[in-house]
Amino acid sequence: MKPGIFITGTDTNVGKTVVAAGLAMVLKSRGFKVGVMKPVATGCQGPDHHLISMDAVFLWEAAENEFPSLSSPSRYRNPLAPHVAAQVERKEVDLKQIHHAYRELQKNYDVIIVEGIGGLMVPLAKDYFVANLIREFQLPIVVVSHSGLGAINHTLLTIDAALIRGFEVKGVIFNRVPVANVSLAELTNPKVIHELSGVPILGSLPEMPDLNIDSCHYGQLKEVFEERICVDKIISMPALPV
């Protein structure tokens, strides 16, 4: 098994793609071949025979992967939970194809970064959730959260669901944290979440106006990620041969 990490979130649109891409860019800059994967994507664009997930493209280009089909094996047009999108579009989520893609990525890369969809309990198929995929991939997780009002409840619920299932939680990353006019909730929530859960806080990412997923503009993502996130606590990579 190659080293890897599963990026999950407290909700949709909290910044999992940004975190996964930032981590990929930092590890790549250190000389590692990084495989990235968004196993299931909804809200995709393009013709039905060639749907494209912009999140997956953002990851793929950040890591400069050679195999786009492996990075995004299951795609749906409707912006719904995968199980629901699969019913609407009359094509089941192909779990065998997803596992095949993951194994192929392991053959070609030093480390694998997998971005989930939504949170742990998003259904991919009947009685099969994102949490089931994490268990089968045997990966530790990083939780991405916002830092504002509601973050304590959402983050603790996600951590609790992960720990109950025996997952290793590497820590929490907060995304889109304001650098000015910070609210009292945003100021105090990270410390409270750490105290109540015992899970490390790995850092926070600010709003980055020059970052755009749809146009694959990364701005200063790599530099900001390296400066503000404890990468070595997420994945301990062996030293590269001299």
What's the token pair of residue 207?
Answer: 């709003």
Which residue type occupies 180? A
Q: Which of 32, 26, 39 is nearest to 2 (CA)?
A: 32
CA angle 132, 69, 222 (to 5 degrees): 80
CA distances from 63 to 10, 31, 45, 79, 226 (A): 24, 11, 21, 25, 15
Strands (DSSP E) along the chain, which ranges?
4-9, 34-37, 40-41, 74-75, 111-115, 123-125, 128-129, 141-145, 169-177, 201-206
Output DSSP code: residue 237: P
* Residues 101 and 37: beta-carbon distance below 8 Å: yes
Residue 51 and residue 88: Cα distance in Å, rounded?
15
* Residues 67 and 142: beta-carbon distance below 8 Å: no
Residue 159 and residue 133: Cα distance in Å, rounded?
16
**126 noted as active-site residue:** no
* Residues 176 and 15: beta-carbon distance below 8 Å: yes
Residues in the chain: 242
The backbone torsions φ and ψ at residue 210, rounded to the nearest 5 degrees and listed phi first, read: -90, 10
Which of 2, 16, 33, 38 is an active site residue?
Answer: 38
Which residues are part of the catalytic machinery?
38
